Structure 1
Amino acid sequence: MSIDVPSLVAQAREGRPRAVARLISLVEGASPQLREVMAALAPLTGRAYVVGLTGSPGVGKSTSTSALVTAYRKRGKRVGVLAVDPSSPFSGGALLGDRVRMQEHATDPEVFIRSMATRGHLGGLAWSAPQAIRVLDAAGCDVVLVETVGVGQSEVEIAAQADTTMVLLAPGMGDGIQAAKAGILEIGDVYVVNKADRDGADATARELNHMLGLGEARKPGDWRPPIVKTVAAKGEGVDEVVEALEKHYAWMSEHGELTARRLRRASAEIETIALTALRERFGSLHEDSRLAALAGRVTAGETDPYAAADELIATTL
């Protein structure tokens, strides 16, 4: 069934939750009208501040996200939340789709919360997250909070999708910073030690500060990631987190980093779409007579696999 995309986009722009949800569903389902949707959204995007929240399981990402929503709503901001969850092995849907920790915002018309399933995509995000972020941006959200699945050392894809990446840690996680050291400690713009009312919070903050100090030397004027302690469940320290995020946004704007990051984000998205299209095109080659003929020539020693691949690409593109 064909969808009236201009009407749907206009409704989303007015902040109608059903229209926003429908657009994100079209994105997730790779609708045949997806290109029409993206073309309609393009002039309306580029205004939202995208903040990524990541960290190991159990650090309080959902609770922190909910607390940030409350803080931004007090500032009169329209907020979009994209919460990426593990996929159900049975339905493929998001296992935590009800977002039980964010129910207090469910009736607020200026807050839109959407769960997305990873569906096997690695990196801590769903493959369609960039397009879903664009939908929330076009829908008039001032701030888009993207909460990743619980990540380890390598799932750091959020750094390529957000304007600012916030890394959460918590004391008493067993092996401290080890749980999130290598990759994840290199991507943060703001670090938050949540559950700071627990024993060991100060030690965790000190260790984190020490490890950040061992990183690359910063030139004068470079951004120094702050470390903020919070108790998100009680709302403590959340205003300080928002202040840190606003300072980072201002620094990026002043130094041209915001534009640079968004250019990198757009480049990565274009590359992903192009490579996906190429994979789909080449995926049908198994039954192509050209592939069989080239395989025969390679087997007979008449050509080598690299030359055959070059020939196949040249005749397919």
Structure 2
Amino acid sequence: MRRAVDVPALVESARAGSPRAVARLISLVEDGHPALREVMAALAPHSGSAYVIGITGSPGVGKSTSTTALVGAFRERGLRVGVLAVDPSSPFSGGALLGDRVRMQDHALDPEVYIRSMASRGHLGGLSWTTPQAIRVLDAAGCDVVLVETVGVGQSEVEIAGLADTSIVLLAPGMGDGIQAAKAGILEIGDVFVVNKADRDGADATVRDLRHMISLGDRTEPGLWRPPVVKTVASQKLGLDEVMEALDKHRAFIEENGELVRRRERRAADEIESIALAAVRARFGHVAGHEGLGALARQVVAGEIDPYAAADRLVDRLEA
């Protein structure tokens, strides 16, 4: 039995800054609770103001340390910050391993910072499939900035570009990241590149390689954003001012040319499509056991009908 949810009271508490209410709302999102539609309808009038920053990169480049440093920088500006740290799923419980959350204890007692670990649950792209709705919860709860830290799985991790207003790509010297960037299409998703652990040998070479690859891309045309490359040592908060300056410049750039609105509209379109496809899958989830499927399969094997025509007939029967 699922516990009944007083949605108006829960949303009101979250809007008032209750961490427990925010946690409960995100749990409803992750569980796909029947009250989720009511929750989203209640949150809609209060969302749309948070700035979403995605942080991605290969494992070991210092994503959690950099995220922690950015949280501190935004808090110094008096902003309320939400963090969604998407962790790999536990193979036993399916839950998040909480590694990122453990590393962010510096802000654990700050009431103006909300940190939530989310399990990827096998979803490719470095995110959880519920991340867009979780962002909406933090947005409506009054967060000025939402930082989304991805799993760190490498080349499949480009989904963040469609979710964030600004995407930060983290790299580190000595990890072959220059080659990985070229292979993974990272040049296409990064708005700001950060070479972390810049106190290591090879940092300047990594910066040089990145700038060279960016110069070869089609974003060097006049009027297009050219991603800056910044060096940091996040554990010592070195280079953080330069990162914040780059973020400010990118936000101003996309606000001025209308790209911010276009990105958010694309994000909403992707979210709508995802929800619609989930509804279609749920409606037609019994396809495998449909009595007409076997007959159609036999016709395809016999060459009496092609698989596309068979699929059309099956859909017609399901909709009848």
Question: What is the TM-score normalised by the length of structure 1?
Answer: 0.95
Match of 1:215 in 2: 217
3-state SS in 2 of match to 1:307? helix
3-state SS in 1 of match to 2:28? helix
3-state SS in 2 of match to 1:283? coil
Q: Deviations over 1:103-160 (max 9, x none)?
A: 0100100000000011111110011111111111111100000000113223210001
Distance 2:201 2:298 in 1: 68
Give yes or no for contact 1:88–1:95 (8 Å, CA) kept in 2: yes
After TM superposition, the structure 1 stretch with the greater mean CA deviation from structure 2, 288-297 or 49-58, is: 288-297
Change (3 A) 1:312 1:110: same
Match of 1:197 in 2: 199
Distance 2:239 2:257 in 1: 27
Give yes or no for contact 2:64–2:100 (8 Å, CA) kept in 1: no
- Please state how far the C-alpha of 1:285 moved relative to its aligned partner: 1.9
Match of 1:18 in 2: 20
After TM superposition, the structure 1 stretch with the greater mean CA deviation from structure 2, 24-33 or 181-190, is: 181-190
Distance 1:308 1:149 in 2: 40
- Please state how far the C-alpha of 1:288 moved relative to its aligned partner: 2.4
Distance 2:217 2:139 in 1: 34
- Whether 2:29 is the aligned partner of 1:27: answer yes
- Aligned-pair Cα RMSD in Å: 1.6
Q: Deviations over 1:67-103 (max 9, x none)?
A: 0000000000000000001111011111135612210
Select 2:126's aligned residue among 124, 127, 151.
Answer: 124
Select 2:227's aligned residue among 225, 228, 232.
Answer: 225
- Please state how far the C-alpha of 1:246 moved relative to its aligned partner: 1.2
Give yes or no for contact 1:55–1:180 (8 Å, CA) kept in 2: no
3-state SS in 1 of match to 2:286? helix
Give 1:150-299 correspondences, 5 Å limit. 150-173=152-175, 175-182=176-183, 183-295=185-297, 297-298=299-300
Give yes or no for contact 1:44–1:137 (8 Å, CA) kept in 2: yes
- Please state how far the C-alpha of 1:277 moved relative to its aligned partner: 1.6
Match of 2:149 in 1: 147
After TM superposition, the structure 1 stretch with the greater mean CA deviation from structure 2, 281-290 or 153-162, is: 281-290
Note the residue ranges of structure 2 that are not aligned, 5 or more in a row: none
Match of 2:108 in 1: 106
Between the two proteins, the alignment pairs up a number of residues equal to: 316
Match of 1:307 in 2: 309
- Please state how far the C-alpha of 1:301 moved relative to its aligned partner: 5.7
In structure 2, give the amino acid aligned to 1:21: A
Distance 1:122 1:97 in 2: 19
Give yes or no for contact 1:170–1:193 (8 Å, CA) kept in 2: yes
- Please state how far the C-alpha of 1:181 moved relative to its aligned partner: 2.8
Match of 1:71 in 2: 73
Note the residue ranges of structure 1 that are not aligned, 5 or more in a row: none
Query: Among the aligned pairs, what percent are the same residue?
Result: 71
Q: Deviations over 1:16-74 (max 9, x none)?
A: 10000000001111111111111111111110000000001111000000000000000
After TM superposition, the structure 1 stretch with the greater mean CA deviation from structure 2, 150-159 or 215-224, is: 215-224
3-state SS in 1 of match to 2:49? coil
Distance 1:273 1:58 in 2: 33
Give yes or no for contact 2:84–2:147 (8 Å, CA) kept in 1: yes
3-state SS in 2 of match to 1:140? coil
3-state SS in 2 of match to 1:84? strand
- Please state how far the C-alpha of 1:191 moved relative to its aligned partner: 0.5
Q: Deviations over 1:214-261 (max 9, x none)?
A: 111533221111111111111111121111111111110100000000
